[in-house]
A and B are shown apart, each in its own frame.
Chain A
Amino acid sequence: ETGVTQTPRHLVMGMTNKKSLKCEQHLGHNAMYWYKQSAKKPLELMFVYSLEERVENNSVPSRFSPECPNSSHLFLHLHTLQPEDSALYLCASSQDMFSTDTQYFGPGTRLTVL
């Protein structure tokens, strides 16, 4: 379970705060993903990065800002969030975006917005 790590594991923030979620993969993969998992809803793909370039932005509000400085690290910067943004945020990686390689998931960050 150490292939994809995420920090912090839990985060509570107010609507005016700015925080960042971090994801790191130790698998040598070239593609990384952010997903949102809300209660009673399917996982929603938010962003896809391939070789540090964003290739998918799934109509995500601008209060979520991703950053991929290198192929091993992925950040999700959060600002002026809403209570409905409370969810489990999952990071995943795969060898290549253009394949059906298995996606390996991190443990997630449980975010609560007050």
Chain B
Amino acid sequence: AQTVTQSQPEMSVQEAETVTLSCTYDTSENNYYLFWYKQPPSRQMILVIRQEAYKQQNATENRFSVNFQKAAKSFSLKISDSQLGDTAMYFCAFMKRTAGGTSYGKLTFGQGTILTVHP
């Protein structure tokens, strides 16, 4: 079974600064996907960024980037130039990829990190 751990229950950052959210995971699988989801207060959870484990290059999406360390089983999220709208709970998630390329759609989530961006 896979587990995902987010060791920071809460984080805060000043607007325009950079913050890094930590995530570690435990798996015996070699092929998998990792995700960061964002859940703003009273709003829907949305995908922020995803990473395929077989790709060495770290994924980036505008101000969001990841530091994927496969050997260390670490998958941190860096938010640059933080904005007030980035205030949300952030979830790290894992999805196994089978040998046939299927995934069964099963996401395993971490406990979440509440990020507050201060003006």
The chain A residues found within 8 Å of chain B, CB to CB, are 1, 4, 31, 33, 40-43, 45, 48, 50, 55-56, 90, 94, 96-100, 102-103, 105-108
Cα distance A105–B43 in the bound complex, in angstroms: 10
Residues of A within 8 A of B84 (CB): none
B106 to A45, Cβ gap below 8 A? Answer: yes
- 21 example contacts (A-B, Cβ-Cβ < 8 A) are as follows A1-B43, A4-B44, A31-B105, A42-B4, A42-B91, A42-B108, A42-B109, A42-B111, A42-B112, A43-B107, A48-B106, A50-B105, A94-B105, A96-B105, A98-B103, A100-B33, A100-B50, A100-B52, A100-B103, A102-B50, A107-B43
Minimum CB–CB distance for A87 against chain B, Å: 14
Question: Contact at B43–A97, with CB atoms within 8 Å?
Answer: no
Within 8 Å of chain A (Cβ to Cβ): is B95? yes
Q: Which residues of B contact A99 (CB under 8 A)?
A: 102-103, 105
**Interface membership of B11, Cβ < 8 A:** no
Docked CA distance A42–B107 (Å) = 11
Which residue of chain B has the shortest Cβ distance to A99 in the bound complex? B103
3 closest residue pairs by CB, A with B:
A98-B102, A105-B45, A43-B109
- Given A31-B105, A97-B104, A99-B102, 5 other A-B contacts at CB below 8 A? A43-B91, A55-B104, A56-B104, A90-B45, A100-B52
B47 near A102 with CB under 8 A, answer yes
Q: Is the CB of A98 within 8 A of B104?
A: yes
